[in-house]
Amino acid sequence: MSGFVGVLVSDQWLQSQFTQVELRTLKSKYVSERTQSGRVTVGNLPPIFKKLKGFAELFTEDEIKDALAESYQNMDEEIDFESFLRAHLNLQARAIAKDGGSKSSSFLKAATTTVHHAINESEKASYVAHINNYLAEDKFMSQFLPIDPSTNALFDLAKDGVLLCKLINVAVPGTIDERAINTKRVLNPWERNENHTLGLNSAKAIGCTVVNIGTQDLVEGRPYLVLGLISQIIKIQLLADLNLKKTPQLVELVEDDKDVEELVSLAPEKVLLKWMNFHLKKAGYEKQVTNFSSDLKDGEAYAYLLNALAPEVAGPSALTTSDPTERANMVLEQAERLDCKRYLTPKDIVEGSPNLNLAFVAQIFQHRNGLTTVDTQKMSFAEMMTDDAETSREERCFRLWINSLGIATYVNNVFEDVRNGWVLLEVLDKVSPGSVNWKLATKPPIKMPFRKVENCNQVIKIGKDLNFSLVNVAGNDIVQGNKKLLLAFLWQLMRFTMLQLLKNLRSHSQGKEITDADILNWANNKVKRAGRTSQMESFKDKNLSSGIFFLELLSAVEPRVVNWSLVTKGETDEDKKLNATYIISVARKLGCSIFLLPEDIIEVNQKMILILTASIMYWSLQKPEENVTPEASPIASVDGENETNVVDEVSNLAIDDNASENASSP
Name every residue whose Cβ is closer than 8 Å to that of residue 43 and which is 6 or more positions away in sequence. Answer: 65, 75, 76
Where does residue 388 rank: exposed (0-12), middle (13-18), buried (19+ CB within 10 A)? exposed
Q: Can you give the three-state secondary structure of 532-550, one letter per residue?
A: CCCCCCCCCCHHHHHCHHH
Give me the amino acid identity at 4: F
Instruction: Tell me the helices (H) and strands (E) count for the chain, helix number first.
Output: 33, 0
Name every residue whose Cβ is closer than 8 Å to that of residue 345 and which is 6 or more positions away in sequence. Answer: 122, 332
pLDDT at 658 exceeding the cut of 50: no
CA distance 581 to 173: 12
CA distance 27 to 496: 28
Question: Is 60 strand, coil or helix?
Answer: coil
Of 98, 87, 82, give the one whose Cα is nearest residue 27. Answer: 82
Residue 13 binned pLDDT confidence (cut-offs 50, 70, 90): low
**Is the preceding peptide bond at 630 cis, omega within 30 degrees of 0?**
no
In the chain, how long is the greatest CA-to-CA distance?
Answer: 78
Of 503, 521, 522, 501, give the one whose Cα is nearest residue 511. Answer: 503
pLDDT at 592 exceeding the cut of 50: yes
pLDDT value at residue 103:
32
CA distance 622 to 641: 19
Question: Is 26 strand, coil or helix?
Answer: helix
DSSP structure string for 542-595: GGGGGSHHHHHHHHHH-TTS--GGG-----SHHHHHHHHHHHHHHHHHHT----
Of 321, 268, 313, give the one whose Cα is nearest residue 292. Answer: 268
Phi, psi of 78 (to 5 degrees): -75, 140
C-alpha dihedral (591, 597, 601, 606), degrees to nearest 10: -90
To the nearest 10 degrees (0 to 180), the angle between helices 268-282 and 300-309 is 80
pLDDT in tens, 384-413: 545 567 778 899 999 999 988 888 888 988
Q: What is the mean pLDDT of the chain?
A: 82
* Cβ atoms 640, 21 nearer than 8 A: yes
Of 105, 131, 139, 321, give the one whose Cα is nearest residue 234. Answer: 131
Residue 648 binned pLDDT confidence (cut-offs 50, 70, 90): very low
Cβ atoms < 10 Å from Cβ of 210: 23
> How many angstroms separate the Cα of 160 from the Cα of each of 129, 189, 219, 576?
20, 9, 7, 30
Residue 58 binned pLDDT confidence (cut-offs 50, 70, 90): confident
Name every residue whose Cβ is closer than 8 Å to that of residue 421 and which is 6 or more positions away in sequence. Answer: 441, 452, 453, 454, 455, 456, 458, 459, 475, 478, 479
pLDDT value at residue 80:
87
CA distance 143 to 575: 31
CA distance 636 to 220: 14
Of 442, 449, 450, 473, give the one whose Cα is nearest residue 460. Answer: 473
Residue 106 binned pLDDT confidence (cut-offs 50, 70, 90): very low
pLDDT value at residue 248:
84
Where does residue 621 rank: exposed (0-12), middle (13-18), buried (19+ CB within 10 A)? middle
* Cβ atoms 660, 492 nearer than 8 A: no
Q: Can you give the three-state secondary structure of 500-512, one letter per residue?
A: HHHHHHCHHHCCC
Name every residue whose Cβ is closer than 8 Å to that of residue 436 and which is 6 or more positions away in sequence. Answer: 425, 428, 429, 458, 462
pLDDT value at residue 258:
64
Looking at per-residue pLDDT, the higher value among 447 and 106 belongs to: 447
Residue 3 binned pLDDT confidence (cut-offs 50, 70, 90): very low
pLDDT value at residue 563:
93
**Least reliable range by pLDDT among 103-107, 124-128, 404-408:** 103-107
CA distance 599 to 608: 10
pLDDT value at residue 117:
53
Exposure b/e, 90-105, CB count within 10 A at least 16 = b? ebbebbbeebeeeeeb
Of 552, 660, 527, give the one whose Cα is nearest residue 605. Answer: 660
| C-alpha 180 chain-centroid distance | 21
pLDDT in tens, 294-344: 999 999 999 899 988 988 887 777 778 888 999 999 899 888 888 887 778
Beta bridge pairs of residue 571 = none
pLDDT value at residue 225:
87
Question: Is 465 strand, coil or helix?
Answer: helix
pLDDT value at residue 630:
34
pLDDT in tens, 596-647: 999 999 999 998 999 899 999 999 987 754 333 333 333 333 333 333 333 3
Of 98, 105, 85, give the one whose Cα is nearest residue 45. Answer: 85
pLDDT at 89 exceeding the cut of 50: yes
Residue 365 binned pLDDT confidence (cut-offs 50, 70, 90): very high
Where does residue 50 rank: exposed (0-12), middle (13-18), buried (19+ CB within 10 A)? middle
pLDDT value at residue 210:
84
Q: Is 624 left (phi over 0), alpha (psi -120 to 50) or beta?
A: beta
pLDDT value at residue 386:
55
Question: Is 41 strand, coil or helix?
Answer: strand
> How many angstroms separate the Cα of 427 from the Cα of each of 408, 436, 658?
10, 10, 20
Where does residue 448 rank: exposed (0-12), middle (13-18), buried (19+ CB within 10 A)? exposed
**Least reliable range by pLDDT among 132-141, 306-315, 522-531:** 306-315
Of 65, 66, 67, 71, give the one whose Cα is nearest residue 43. Answer: 65
Altogether, the residues listed in the chain come to a count of 666
CA distance 158 to 199: 11
CA distance 504 to 490: 21
pLDDT value at residue 653:
38
